[in-house]
A and B are shown apart, each in its own frame.
Chain A
Amino acid sequence: GNSVTQMEGPVTLSEEAFLTINCTYTATGYPSLFWYVQYPGEGLQLLLKATKADDKGSNKGFEATYRKETTSFHLEKGSVQVSDSAVYFCALRGSTLGRLYFGRGTQLTVWP
């Protein structure tokens, strides 16, 4: 079946620190992979995506590479800002009906 395992939080960093949030997946077939971000009191927003192996998704300084050999899609940012404080969800989309399977979410807090 499909599942996503995400690094447990919370993660607390100082501004300009390097961020990695680990995500690994189990899937049948060839899933698409996503990172969603949820700011306080809001719904989820798509941060970046990758639809096939070796694709790199990027947005707002965040990057993640679809690694089929390690079934991973780790989120990275070279220099975090206070405004990046949010909950980050890794997700995969299976082939059937496009439903998303989410990880448990990682709370990121960035201090000035």
Chain B
Amino acid sequence: NAGVTQTPKFRVLKTGQSMTLLCAQDMNHEYMYWYRQDPGMGLRLIHYSVGEGTTAKGEVPDGYNVSRLKKQNFLLGLESAAPSQTSVYFCASRYPPDRAEYNEQFFGPGTRLTVL
């Protein structure tokens, strides 16, 4: 199993450009999450999904959109990038609460995004 994978690993954008970050998991997890990590801030939840075709806002959703067209993929989009979106982005996934293994969230390796 590859676990949770993220592409790309690094990206530099200019202000106003758009891009999509891809998260893929091969563990058949229902729940998927996008977090951003900023120095001294821990991880903050951007958006999440509890199943294919469903998405919901997290703590810091402004400036981002997401889609979950397939169960194994969760896409994070930036329509018009801003310097404030310079961050490291982590995707995570896990089983739903009715599974005994649901305690653990599995994280991808992260995408380092710089917006100039």
Contacts and interface: CB of A to CB of B under 8 A. Distances in A.
A89 B42 contact: yes
A102 B41 CA distance: 9
Contact of A98 (B41, B58, B97, B110): B97
Contacts of A51: 103
B33 interface: yes
Contacts of B58: 99
Main DSSP-derived SS at the A contact region: strand
Contacts, number: 52
Interface in B28-69: 31, 33, 40-45, 48, 50, 56, 58
Interface residues of B, number: 26
A105 B42 contact: yes
A36 B44 CA distance: 14
B42 A103 contact: yes
A98 B99 CA distance: 12
Contacts of A45: 107
A98 B95 CA distance: 10
Contacts of A43: 4, 90, 107-110
A103 B37 CA distance: 11
Contacts of A46: 104-105
A66 to B, nearest CB: 13
Interface string A76-93: 000000000000010001
A46 B93 CA distance: 13
Nearest to A43: B107
A91 to B, nearest CB: 8
Interface of A: 4, 6, 32, 36, 41-46, 49, 51, 89, 93, 97-100, 102-105
Given A97-B31, A100-B105, 18 more contacts: A4-B42, A6-B42, A42-B110, A43-B107, A43-B108, A43-B110, A44-B107, A46-B105, A89-B42, A97-B50, A98-B31, A98-B94, A98-B97, A99-B45, A100-B45, A102-B43, A103-B42, A105-B40
27 contacts: A6-B42, A32-B103, A42-B109, A42-B110, A43-B107, A43-B108, A43-B109, A44-B90, A44-B92, A44-B107, A46-B104, A46-B105, A49-B103, A51-B103, A89-B43, A93-B103, A97-B31, A97-B48, A97-B50, A97-B56, A98-B94, A98-B97, A99-B45, A99-B48, A100-B45, A102-B42, A105-B40
